[in-house]
Structure 1
Amino acid sequence: MVLPSLLVTLLAGSGSAAAAVARPVTPRTSNGTCTTLLQRRAWHTFTDAEKRAYIDAELCLMAKPATLGLNGTKNRFEELQWTHQHQASIVHNVGAFLPYHRLLMWAHEKLLREECGYQGAQPYWDEVRDAGKFSTSDVLDPVTGFGGNGVGAYGCIADGPFVNFTNSLGPGYRIGFEHCIYRFVSDSVSRRAAQSYIDECYQHTTFVDFWPCAEGAPHNGGHGGIGGKMNDPIASPGDPIFYLHHSFLDKVWWDWQELNQSARLMDIGGRNKFSGGFSGGFPWGNGTLPGFPGGNGSLPGAPQDPWRSVPLQDMIPPPGSPEPEGDPGNTTTLSHILRMYGVVPDVTIADVMDTRGPLLCFEYV
């Protein structure tokens, strides 16, 4: 675990995420046919043995050496995280937000199964069940879950299977600052994951209206409810809870699609480039989350998170950051390219609109 005193080095020089490996864009889909759907289930329905199998596979991914030459990555887990960090400015607050994260969840599931022997499907966190009481969720159980809240001034987790994991990506776009998984759990912020907020999103009949709603309360309820690393909009996949949270959000999108499949399996839109920036939190104004005005990035009901107070330059996309590809203008289309830098093949948004194939092959139960 990283000593808290090392935080001072955050203000000093280190690498950034700017140095990407140039790779040709070759979007493609699977030639196979989806015949057997993986069943994605809620974490709380898993047996202890199923939970252990998933966590062991995650630890395996964290232990496997990086293979793709992505700047600063040490292991396969960080290579997934890097694709999110490097593209943060073009996969948040844009029409590609939900499609990109659906692909990232699938890539994570694929690596667990193909490289670490995991036999199951990607679980999701039923955050509605735990809204307003994240601190008591079985997701944070120190024995059968992901470990609990952070402790001390810097919020390093003190128990659970990932207590000794050292992450080298983040905060923000920073690379090379090795640090613990840190959390500042807030039950009050986690209320944004409640069913009432999701139901508000389901009232929208077009993607361009649904997507910002989903990226609002349901999205920030999970990130802000865990806090710490999860509150870093750029490097948040450094906490493995990220994959349960975004699988839940993907389920919210899929449930909305199922309300009108004939229209919504082809419905996409929204801007493809966000002109704002990140300022110590998710990309809404001054670093606060919607509905929680807090001035300097603090959240009422949550302890002040010193890890959010990173230098501004580490929250700004560095030179060489990617631009959206595949659209004729600034409107997200089905031909928008989702890049994965070799982790899995690049595809288009059209390829991930239906979870039941031909590329993806799963359903939520």
Structure 2
Amino acid sequence: MRWTWILFAIITADAAPVNNGEQAACKSPIQRKAWHNLTKEEKKSYIDAEKCLMSLPAKLGLTGARTRFDEFQKIHVLHTPLIHGVGAFLPYHRYYIQAHETALRTECHYAGAQPYWDEARDAGNFSKSILLDPETGFGGDGVGPNKCIADGPFKDYVNSIGPGENITDHCIDRQINDCMSEGAAQQNVDACMKMKTFESAWNCMEAMPHSSGHSGINGQMMNVFSSPGDPLFYLHHAYLDRIWWQWQSKNLSSRLTEVTGRNQGGFFFPVSSNGTILGPFSRGDISGCDPFPGFPGGPGGPGGFPGFPGFPPPQNGPWVKIDGDPANITTLGHVINVEGSIPNVTIKDVMNIQGDVLCYEYI
């Protein structure tokens, strides 16, 4: 554990010691860039690093995981019921992406930062995104009965985690849905930026644009548990983290300490009782979209949302105690557990992306 802390400190910040022995705040943040703006060499470097994680043997002892890439997916599976539809949704995924970035940099000799997918550029047209390019991207849509991706650098990867909580060997599958990707429109992002409280902003972001990145890619990405099995997951959630940071930056004096919400959720994203996705959407009303045939609540599908495969049921049972929280409410003391991939921290530690623990910026 001591060496884990040392590596983590080296890779996350150019921080200088201060007189009291504590780590100083971030001085030279690494730059997270949009995939659209990376050079071919930068894109190749990132993809090679992700393939490296797919080749390294698992080391955390998590059931079903064969590789380091699988382990990150398994971490998400284990924590799914407590990191969606809850106050920790944004902080947890911020640190989870940090854990993935740290592994790329410490274990796979990656010199860059975690890129993000600027999804608003591709809203309504995911199928034509440069991220799906077979040569300089992540490969395209799924084909055949199992909707396996057929080109690109990850087409032959056999995933051992998922679907859902299952442990089975399967391909990375996609069903690109341009209609559902309409929800990633900049107007919807702008609507979230106007929210005045953490609770309203988080609910807006988790509903849209978060849901559109998942449902626009579909397949593996649409499974609330095992969605990190598609490498696009990390660029999608880096983008969501960027949006949250933009919202925080509008009033840092208060928004670096503002968090609330319950600790047990139940759905992939906030929905109404009849299955309608919540949010103030000025464009990208996806109510007429059919994510795939028979989708509950969609055209041709049985009404309602509960019971959709891959979505955990509402958590109405006994509250699960979260370290750092005195009750079923998210506080700054809430402990974020990433199963030893990097040291556990509290939500307070990750509220600032240029603080004592995190050290990056979005450009």
Q: CA deviation at 1:273?
A: 1.2
Encode CA deviations 1:2-60: one digit per residue, 9 max, x unaligned. Answer: xxxxxxxxxxxxxxxxxxxxx9xxx9x96533221000000010111110000000000
Does residue 1:128 correspond to 2:120, yes or no?
yes
Does residue 1:338 correspond to 2:336, yes or no?
yes
Shift of the 230–288 alpha-carbon distance from structure 1 to 2, 3 Å rule, reads farther
Residue 241 of structure 1 is aligned with which of 211, 214, 232?
Answer: 232
Aligned residue pair count: 329
Shift of the 110–287 alpha-carbon distance from structure 1 to 2, 3 Å rule, reads farther
Aligned residue for 1:87, secondary structure, equals helix
Encode CA deviations 1:264-284: one digit per residue, 9 max, x unaligned. Answer: 01111111112x3x5xx6564
> In 2, distance between residues paired with 1:47 and 1:236?
27
RCO higher in 1 or 2 (8 Å CA, sep ≥ 6)?
1
Aligned residue for 1:168, secondary structure, equals coil
Instruction: Answer whether contact 2:207 2:270 (CA < 8 A) is retained.
Output: no
Aligned counterpart, 2:156: 164
Q: CA deviation at 1:311?
A: 9.1
Residue 210 of structure 2 is aligned with which of 184, 206, 219?
Answer: 219
Paired residue type of 1:232 = N
Aligned counterpart, 2:18: none
> In 1, distance between residues paired with 2:274 and 2:145?
23
Instruction: Answer whether contact 1:174 1:314 (CA < 8 A) is retained.
Output: no
Instruction: Answer whether contact 1:170 1:235 (CA < 8 A) is retained.
Output: yes
The share of aligned pairs that are identical, in percent, is 49
Residue 153 of structure 1 is aligned with which of 115, 140, 145?
Answer: 145
Paired residue type of 2:147 = G
Where do 1:14-163 residues align within 5 Å?
Answer: 31-33=22-24, 34-163=26-155
> In 1, distance between residues paired with 2:192 and 2:97?
21
Q: CA deviation at 1:325?
A: 2.5
Shift of the 259–340 alpha-carbon distance from structure 1 to 2, 3 Å rule, reads same
Which moves more between the two structures, 80-89 or 242-251? 80-89
Instruction: Answer whether contact 1:288 1:298 (CA < 8 A) is retained.
Output: no
Encode CA deviations 1:302-335: one digit per residue, 9 max, x unaligned. Answer: x99xxxxx996995699xx975321111111000
Q: CA deviation at 1:138?
A: 0.4
Does residue 1:173 correspond to 2:173, yes or no?
no
Aligned counterpart, 2:358: 360
Aligned counterpart, 1:255: 246
Instruction: Answer whether contact 1:173 1:314 (CA < 8 A) is retained.
Output: no
> In 2, distance between residues paired with 1:49 and 1:268?
39
> In 2, distance between residues paired with 1:95 and 1:170?
25
Does residue 1:191 correspond to 2:182, yes or no?
yes
Instruction: Answer whether contact 2:321 2:327 (CA < 8 A) is retained.
Output: no
Aligned counterpart, 2:15: none
Q: CA deviation at 1:288?
A: 7.0
Aligned counterpart, 2:16: none
Q: CA deviation at 1:90?
A: 0.3
- Residue ranges of structure 2 left out of the alignment (5+ in a row): 10-21, 279-285, 302-306
In the superposition, the TM-score normalised over structure 2's length comes to 0.84
Aligned residue for 1:39, secondary structure, equals strand
Shift of the 317–75 alpha-carbon distance from structure 1 to 2, 3 Å rule, reads farther
In the superposition, the TM-score normalised over structure 1's length comes to 0.83
Q: CA deviation at 1:209?
A: 1.0
RMSD: 2.9
- Residue ranges of structure 1 left out of the alignment (5+ in a row): 1-22, 305-309
